[in-house]
Amino acid sequence: MMNDECRMTNEMMNDECRMMNDRLSEKCPDNPHRRMSLFRHLSFSIHHSSFRIHHSSFRIHHSSFRIHHSSARRAFTLIEILVVVTILAMLASAIVLSFSGETDRARVARAKSDIATLENAIDRFKLDMRRYPAEEEGLVALAQKPDSEDATRWKGPYIKRLEKDPWGNPYVYVVPGDHNTESYDLICYGADGQEGGPGEYDKDIGNWAQEERPE
C-alpha cells in the first residue's frame, strides 16, 4: 500500500514539473538561465514536500505496526494469566484435599480420646452406683443425677458436659454391648454417621479391640 502511494505521488510530481516547465517557457522565453534557476527552486520545493508526505506516511505505518504489536502483546499476556490461574487452582485443590485428609485423621484421634474419657467416667459411675448406667438413662447420667432409687449413691458429675462426636453426632451407648457382652459398647459411627461404612473415615470407632487396616 505504501508503494502505491509513493508511485502516485511521483506521477503527480512529474506532471507538476512538466506543467511548471511549460509555464516558465512562456514567462522567460529569452532567458534560459533564469528559467532553469526557477525550475530548480520549484522542483526542490516539490521534492521537499513529497519527502514530508512520504515521511508522514512512514510514521502512520509505523504507528499502525505499534498498535498491532501492542494488541498481540495484550493477547499473549491474557494467555499467560490463564495459565497461571490454572496452575494456582490445581495447587489449591491439592492443598484442600491434603488438609481434608489431615482434618479427618484428627477427628478420628479425637473420637478415640473422647471414648476413652467416657470409659473412665462410666467406670467411676459404676464404682459409686455399683452398676453401669442403664441404656434408658444413657450417657446423660454421667453429667446429671439420674432419677432412680439409688440416686443417693451418685457422686457426679463424672464429666463436665456430654459432648458430641467430631462429626456432630451423639456417641452411642449400648449395654450390654454387642462387642463387650459383659459390660457396654461406646460407638462413634465415623464421618458418614451410619453404622459400618466402607471408607477409611466412615468405619465405626468403638471401645473394643479393632483390627488395624494394613497400610
What whole-number distance in Å separates Cα of residue 7 and Cα of residue 55? 14
By mean pLDDT, which of 33-47, 88-102, 112-126, 137-151 is the weakest?
33-47
Q: Are 192 and 199 within 8 A, CB to CB?
A: yes
Looking at residues 13-35, what average pLDDT do you find?
Answer: 53
pLDDT, tens digit, for every residue of 181-201? 999 999 999 999 988 878 788
**Residue 92: its pLDDT value, please?**
72
Q: With a cut of 90, say whether residue 144 has pLDDT above it.
A: yes
Q: Are 202 and 110 within 8 A, CB to CB?
A: no
For the ranges 36-45, 90-99, 102-111, the one whose mean pLDDT is highest: 102-111
What whole-number distance in Å separates Cα of residue 14 and Cα of residue 43? 10
pLDDT confidence tier of residue 54, bands split at 50, 70 and 90:
very low
Q: Where are the domains of the chain?
A: 2-85, 109-206
Sign of CA dihedral 151, 152, 153, 156: positive
pLDDT confidence tier of residue 97, bands split at 50, 70 and 90:
low
Question: What's the burial of 173, exposed, middle or buried (CB within 10 Å: 0-12/13-18/19+)?
Answer: buried
* Helices 32-129 and 2-27: angle between axes, nearest 10 degrees: 160
**CATH 3.40.50.2300, applies to 109-206:** no
Q: Which three cell numbers stand for residue 81?
A: 494469566
Verdict on whether the full-model pTM lies above 0.75: no
pLDDT confidence tier of residue 65, bands split at 50, 70 and 90:
very low
DSSP conformation class of 154:
-
